Structures are given as structure tokens and as C-alpha cells.
Amino acid sequence: MAARTILVLGGGVGGLVTANELRRRLDPADRVVVVERERRHLFQPSLLWLMVGRRRRDQIERPLRELVAPGVEVVEADITSVDPAARSVQTTAGSLAGDEMVVALGAEPDRDAVPGYRDAALDFFSPDGAAACARALDAFKGGRVVVAVAALPYKCPAAPYEAALLLEDELRRRGLRAPSEIDVYSPEPAPMPVAGAAMGAAVVALLEARGIRFHPGTKIERFEPGSREIVLPDGTRVGYDLLAGVPPHRAPAAVRESPLAGGTGWVPVDRATLETGHERVHAIGDVTSITLANGKPLPRAGVFAHGEGLVAARRIASALAGRPADDAFDGVGYCWVEAGAGRAAFATGAFFAEPDPALVLRGPGRSWHAGKVLFERSWVGGRLERRLAHAGLVVGGRLLGVTATA
Ligand SMILES: Cc1cc2nc3c(=O)[nH]c(=O)nc-3n(C[C@H](O)[C@H](O)[C@H](O)COP(=O)(O)OP(=O)(O)OC[C@H]3O[C@@H](n4cnc5c(N)ncnc54)[C@H](O)[C@@H]3O)c2cc1C
């Protein structure tokens, strides 16, 4: 049988999981090729620890080539266009084509969507922004801290709330809590609205217990970095001394400008199979749009990119082996909510449940925080560290009755 080539576009969470699972399942003669512009794979959840000075950048990244399974090829290049009909891409390293293609190009911050945001906010959605936030915190003497969601959509629904809780903890640790106020502004009606009213109320309770004020349903018209103010549509001005920002997100240009993009710019997929409607082209993770039974989108989170990547890889391997492809993505997910003081809460549940996702929030507690640290190390630790952390997660997960394993 002639060797086949599977192109995996993007080497983030979804692309990495997909490529490694394909490598495990395919004939060694088949090629698995990951196209990724960054040399180093970033564990994005740890940006929250980087922003409060609890991590260095080199602790939360690892060269992608060290993380792919032996035999996975990595092409370091920028993808400039995608042709799903030909299953080919144009890149800064030339054109590439495959027998199968998996699109895992994620979501990119759109920092110019809201006027003034780019210059005003310490944007912890990038390593540079998170590091700048940590430096600003070092120089901070107390005052008004604002965490602002500039506009929707954004990835990781818990991130703004975790940021506020971690900043609060850090100010307390540094003796700056008393002279400081902390406010969270978001256009959302409640934290993590897709997860239902009870989840929103639980997260608001976490914020209130720490004296953090939450301002739901707040659209932001513009940011004025000169006067250090946020301007709301009714003209209200909100002053700040330290502004941590969550940028709105969009699909990368190569996807938005391709026939893959639905009306919104994201890639619509079958939620069970991750098929795009273009023959032998799957899409997974943040770049996709999946609408839940309650009409809300499946959140953009690594846990889903991970689960979808496994399903896409297994379906492709089955199809190439001439077997029926029966793996299906079930929408089960989990999420740590870092609460500061060495504690985290842990949300887990079924997002495809009807009429609403059925989720449970446990904690906050130290064991959940330890689980998140293990998860980080299982992802971007050294080789031995990754193995030990993974084993720790499996054992810990069994003891705690959850399946949050890498
Ligand atoms: C602060 C923060 C905290 C988070 N916390 C959590 C959490 O606790 N739990 C959770 O589940 N998720 C969390 N997330 C979200 C999670 O990181 C993402 O949802 C996940 O990474 C999505 O995986 P993906 O493979 O779809 O995209 P990504 O992991 O973003 O990967 C996309 C890849 O495509 C590459 N790429 C894009 N365009 C091109 C191009 N044109 N050419 C070449 N390469 C390209 C990018 O460089 C990137 O490596 C967090 C995110 C942030 C920012």
C-alpha cells in the first residue's frame, strides 16, 4: 500500500495531540507532518502564573520537536493560505499537500477590535503581555486594579476570573491588598455563562469572598491609555491604575480567508466527527465553532482541543485502515479555576447534555491546585518529569474520582 501523508496544521494543544495519536496508530511508512510557526510549544494556562510572577517563561514552554512522538515531522513555517479541496497549504517554506488534513490553527487575539486596547492593557494572553503584567505588579504600590474583557469571544472562559483571584492573592501576599480595589468588567451576563446559572453564581461567590467586584453585562466602547480610563457606551469612565486585559479572538487569517470559514470566520464542524464538510479535512479546537443545545458556543478551551484531536486522529486512522470510524467526540470537559492561596476549584461535566451542559464545581482546595501543577508538568516538563506527572495525574484522578488526565 502506498504511504499516505497527513498534514496537521498547527502544533498547539490540538495539533500536538492529533499528531502523536496518529503516529501511534498509523503504519510507520505513513507521514505525519505538523506545520507550526512557533518553535516552542506554550502551555497557555500557565500564562496566569506568569502574570503574577509565579513562573518564568522558560518553565511554561518546551521545544515542539521534543514533544512530538518520534517519526512526526515538524515543518516550522507560517501558513499563508489553506485550500481544503486540494488538502494543501501555502507556507513560508513552500507548499505542502496531504491525503488527509487536520486544521488545528487555534484562535488569535484581535487586539485592534476595540479602540485603545492594544496600548492600554497588560494583555496576559501572550507571554510578553503576561511578563509585562508581572513587571507592572512588581512596581505597583496599590490602587485600582481592573480586569477587563474587551469584547467577545475569547478563549478559556475562566481566565478573567482566575486572573482577578490570582492578582488579589498576590496583592495580599505583597501587603498591598488594603490600599487596592479590584474590579472585573465583562460583557457576559455571568462568569462562564455557557456552564449555567449555578456555575456563574459559584464563581461570583469566589470573587465576592475576596472582595472583588464583578460588573457583568458591561460592553466597553474604548480604552484611553493616556488618562488610564475605560469608556463605556453611555459615556461612563472607569479609571484604573493597573489594567489586565482579555482580548477578543478571531480565527487566523489563513482560515478566515479560506473556503473552510463559515459566516463567522470560524470553521463549522460536525460536533461528533469533527468533519468540516470538505472531504478528508477535519478541524479541531479553538478554530472551530460548535453550537450547543442551549444555543451557546462550546467554549474555546484546551480540554476540548485535546479530546477532539484524539477523536479526529482515531477516525482518520480507522478510515485509512479501511475500518469503520466509530470514535465520536462526547463534549465531556473539565477546567481548573485557580483561586489563589495555593487553591483551585475544579469544574467537570458534559457540555453536550440537553437542554444545558451538566457541570459540577468542586473545591476550591489544595489538591485541585496540585492537580493543575501536575497537569502543567505533564505537558511541558522535562521527559522524566512529564512521565511522573502523568502517572501522578492518573493515580490522583482515580483517588478523586475524576478523569482529568493528560
Ligand atoms: C491565559 C489562558 C489560560 C488558559 N487556561 C486554560 C485552562 O485552564 N484549561 C483549558 O482547557 N484551556 C485553557 N486555555 C485555552 C487553551 O490554551 C486553548 O483553548 C488551546 O490551546 C486550544 O488548542 P488549539 O490547538 O485549538 O489552539 P492552540 O493551542 O492555540 O494552537 C494553535 C497553533 O496554531 C499555530 N498557528 C496559528 N496560525 C498559524 C499559521 N498561520 N501558521 C502556522 N502556525 C499557526 C499557533 O502558533 C499555535 O501553536 C487558556 C488559554 C489562555 C490564553
Backbone phi, then psi, for 337, in 5-degree steps? -120, 100
288's CB contacts (< 8 A; 6+ apart) are 266, 267, 268, 269, 274, 308
What does the block give as the cell for 182?
479590584
- Looking from the CA of residue 16, the nearest atom of ligand 1 is 25
Question: How far is residue 387's CA from residue 255's CA, in Å, rounded to a whole number?
Answer: 35
- Per-residue pLDDT at 99: 98
What is the Å distance from ligand 1's center to 322 Cα?
Answer: 32
User: Cα 289–114–134 angle (5° rounding)?
Assistant: 90
Q: Is the pLDDT of residue 290 over 90?
A: yes
Confidence of residue 390 (pLDDT cuts 50, 70, 90): confident
Q: Which long-range contacts (CB under 8 A, 24 or more apart) does 86-94 make?
A: 87/7, 87/280, 87/281, 89/7, 89/9, 89/35, 89/254, 91/35
Average pLDDT, the chain: 95
Helices 197-209, 159-173: inter-axial angle, 10-degree rounding: 10
Residue 326: count of CB within 10 angstroms of its CB: 8
81's CB contacts (< 8 A; 6+ apart) are 89, 90, 254, 257, 258
Q: What is the CATH number of domain 109-249?
A: 3.50.50.60
**Ligand 1 in contact with 302 (CB < 6 A)?**
yes
What percentage of the chain carries pLDDT values higher than 70?
A: 98
pLDDT tens across 225-246, in order? Answer: 999 999 999 999 999 999 999 9
All CATH 3.50.50.60 domain ranges in the chain, comma separated: 5-107+251-329, 109-249
Contact between 287 and 103 under an 8 Å Cβ cutoff? The reply is yes
Average pLDDT, stretch 33-50? Answer: 97
**Which superfamily, per CATH, for 5-107+251-329?**
FAD/NAD(P)-binding domain (3.50.50.60)
289's CB contacts (< 8 A; 6+ apart) are 262, 264, 266, 267, 268, 269, 297
- Per-residue pLDDT at 3: 93
- Per-residue pLDDT at 313: 98
Q: Is the pLDDT of residue 403 over 80?
A: no
Q: Which long-range contacts (CB under 8 A, 24 or more apart) does 393-398 make?
A: 396/367, 396/370, 396/371, 397/371
pTM: 0.96
**Ligand 1 in contact with 335 (CB < 6 A)?**
yes
pLDDT tens across 104-125, in order? Answer: 999 999 999 999 999 999 999 9
Nearest CA to ligand 1 atom 48: 12
What does the block give as the cell for 282?
477535519
Average pLDDT, stretch 57-83? Answer: 97
Nearest CA to ligand 1 atom 41: 79
Question: How far is residue 194's CA from residue 192's CA, in Å, rounded to a whole number?
Answer: 6
Contact between 264 and 169 under an 8 Å Cβ cutoff? The reply is no
What percentage of the chain carries pLDDT values higher than 90?
A: 87
What is the Å distance from ligand 1's center to 248 Cα?
Answer: 14
pLDDT tens across 113-156, in order? Answer: 999 999 999 999 999 999 999 999 999 999 999 999 999 999 99
Question: How far is residue 276's CA from residue 251's CA, in Å, rounded to a whole number?
Answer: 15
Confidence of residue 406 (pLDDT cuts 50, 70, 90): very low
What is the Å distance from ligand 1's center to 49 Cα?
Answer: 16
